[in-house]
Amino acid sequence: MNLEFLESGQTLTIKLKGDLDHHSADESRVLIDKKINEGKYNKIVIDLKKLDFIDSSGIGFVIGRYKLIRKRNGVIEITNASSKVRKILDMSGIGKIISIK
């Protein structure tokens, strides 16, 4: 999976490209958490426009980043989820704690 970071004020946008599965989540987690821990962000936007694949490991990954930013009193938002990606996200009920646009 490819990651792209965009910073705007205290908002960090993470663009995910490719497949988000157990393998890529483990790899990306390290890079993303380093970035979050080094910065002073109060909002994380996860942009899924270029995501080709997601499974339940991706849900665990999103919840993990939610917990991390919550510790810093920040919020997380998911944008550009396709209908298929949306289906998996809805299955887990994470829409109740994270805004999905």
Partner 1 sequence: MQNNYVIFKIPSLSTNESFARAAVAAFCANLNPTIDEIIEIKTAVSEAVTNAIIHGYENTVGEIQIECKIKGQLVEIIVEDYGSGIVNVEMAREPLYTTKPELERSGMGFAVMETYMDEVVVLSEKDIGTKVIMRKTISERKK
Chain contacts with partner 1 (rule: CB under 8 A): 19, 21-23, 25-26, 29, 53-57, 59-61, 63-64, 84, 88, 91-92
- Provide the minimum distance between the beta carbon of 33 and partner 1 in the complex, in angstroms, as a whole number: 11
**In terms of Cα–Cα distance, which of 42, 38, 35 is closest to 4?**
35
- Provide the minimum distance between the beta carbon of 81 and partner 1 in the complex, in angstroms, as a whole number: 14
Nearer to partner 1, 11 or 19 (CB): 19
Which bin fits 16, alpha (ψ -120 to 50), beta or left (φ > 0)? Answer: beta
